[in-house]
Amino acid sequence: MRSVGKSRAATPDAEGAALVSPWPVRKTTQRNRDVKREAVIRAAARAFNARGYHNTSIDEIAAALNVTKPTIYYYVANKEQLLLECILTGLERVLEPFRRPREAGVSARGHLNQMMRHYAEAIASEYGWCMVRAEDLGLAPASLWHIKRLKSEIDQGIRRLLEEGVRDGSIQVQDLKMTSFALAGALNWIAHWYRENQSMTVGEIAEAFIRIFNLGLEPRAAEGPRAAEGRPRRPRPHKEPIP
């Protein structure tokens, strides 16, 4: 799922970088290792989410996975690294749509809407809790720098899409920075109110947010059939607001 996770996962283990085994069992082992490492990070994210970072021990995370503490230390050096991995996992998910080429026929606004769906999924997942508290949990400067770099990449990605949207005619915008901050803020705040037992799915929340940011509050003059958000060439009738 995460390429970053995989590349870093190879570092601490003692298999030796030069020795690449041709036997498939080795590949399976590596895949198993990645799967297990991911399970460790996800379990940590859930525990931090439920009890807070400072109130969670490695023992509790191990217990949730039915393993011992040394098993956790096989995958990460300490609790701080676990927290960092949780935050990076979430941020990498948000970044996914920025790193793949745009589908044919999709406007920049359509791509931005896809990004909002990914963002909502990531922030409403178990990783959301630590993603929005990244700066408050006492991480080391190097970790904070890493987080800041990914957050800046997200911000730049949003601004770039906005600019492209102005060029392809799918977006109107006055202030790129403020628009990026308003979008990210509204999406980040989902982590503060979303609970899995809520009446709406993350997908429904994302569509509601896309609609709000696309259309705005000011009533639009009768414009006839509106361009579909993803593919501006296929017209779709405008739904009346149901307050």
Q: How far is the CB of 77 from its own copies (least distance, A)?
A: 25
Closest CA to 44 of 28, 69, 29, 64: 64
Greatest alpha-carbon span in the chain: 68
Beta strands 235-236; 226-227: pairing state: antiparallel
Cα-Cα end-to-end distance for the chain? 40
Residue of 119, 190, 202, 230 interacting with its own copies (CB under 8 A): 190
Residue 104 or 136 having the CB closest to its own copies:
136
State the residue for tokens 């969670």.
Answer: 56
CB-CB contact of 109 with 229 (8 Å): yes
Contact window for its own copies (CB under 8 A) among 19-27, 28-36, 66-74, 133-141: 133-141
Residue 63 or 186 having the CB closest to its own copies:
186
Residue of 36, 117, 118, 211 interacting with its own copies (CB under 8 A): 211
Q: Is 40 in the site for its own copies (CB under 8 A)?
A: no
SS3 letters across 99-163? HCCCCCCCCHHHHHHHHHHHHHHHHHCCCHHHHCCHHHCCCCHHHHHHHHHHHHHHHHHHHHHHH
Q: How many residues bind its own copies (CB under 8 A)?
A: 55
Q: How far is the CB of 225 from its own copies (least distance, A)?
A: 11
Cα separation, 95 vs 88, whole angstroms: 10
The tokens for 170 are 């799918």
Mask 219-238, x = binds its own copies (CB under 8 A)? xxx-x--xx-x---------
Residue of 135, 225, 235, 236 interacting with its own copies (CB under 8 A): 135
- State the residues that interact with its own copies by CB under 8 A: 52, 109, 112, 133, 135-136, 162-163, 165-166, 169-176, 178-179, 181-190, 192-193, 200, 205, 208-209, 211-221, 223, 226-227, 229, 239, 241-243
